[in-house]
Structure 1
């Protein structure tokens, strides 16, 4: 569940981190950022390691956390609350993985976040609408072609207990959206932006975002691939929102509200509204 002015002049063969950090797609002074192959390889390697580290942390935190809660009698396995707790712990693990990277790496100013202003609010609202329209348009186009993306496993528990969808509305806004955007836009796209121009960084980060959704799809290989393509496009839009606003809160809220809307629609359908 499924973000550009480009940097100012950079010397040939070098990548300016200031140019990457301050640039926004589509600005009037946008110029091409020259990419140093060594810097590009280094930043790509960093991005991959951060994602792997975040996933290892997520697995560890989810396993230990749910076992502890069950052992304390606070959770019952095979229930909706158990699944919700696993989701919260998984994305908490993402945050711990990112925090570990930031503590070890010397990357000042990597994550750009500030208080929201009116322009940010407009970008969030417009972003949610475009995300929803894009998803449903892509799904409709695939349906016309006789294809399907399969279904995200996060939707399955609500089939038996529709209240699960209501819990996930809140979890999406407060946990899932911020955690995924912290990792994929804040860190991955932020690292790539220090070696690449805006659009390559957005596209690479969006592709990584799409790839990590493969395991969450219930369906065959083709369905998983198509789901990944849709998630990649949605990730690129979130990347544009980040690049355009220079504020991680924008894609975080847009992502969370988009997911929350999907869960709300599922709840309405499940209870016959």
Structure 2
């Protein structure tokens, strides 16, 4: 499997601040959904901005789809990456939803007829075509994120980075956006990086990277990461609800061979358990 992003011995700190990353290395596999989790201040969002070239490394190297992140390659790299931020309003530039999705295409000088086709397709893909004449600022939080995602999809990136993109949404809205991104990922064979402190969101990833104080402390599949509740607590993270439920059931004498299950597998296990009683 190709490593679409390679982070090689990078070091970084903000002015007048302690070193955040010191010779940190990691890879992101092409086609995977990788979740990067950690407490606030652990360096998650900084890592996303370094990958996209929004801030500059002190030393080391980042390679995105065979291109080194530097001034010479920055525009090509940003064409490969779409970022969805915590507050989608930070990304809006158009007077209407349709104008906003078209903005990036206009910058690329896409012919107008082709542009209209791409905008319509992108908005329909995220379920926002009927809102095309609305003012983006007047939409709900979930609708704003859908428009932001449509603007990215229109540009056909290879990588989507969700930088705390669901943290301002309620649980239903959060799941709706994650389901949408998953469908877009599958339909377009994308790589997704989710920067989050939401453990339940990260549990749906293919691979989880735990960052603490600028260092990678764990990297594994969700089942293995979230089964160790004590280790999560030691770095200030809570365990997923399903892990907490399994632990609570054990305390009541209902033993489980699992330390962690995602929602669907947990429900299936409980149904099986009840049916045998």
TM-score calculated relative to the size of structure 2 = 0.24
* TM-score normalized by the length of structure 1: 0.25
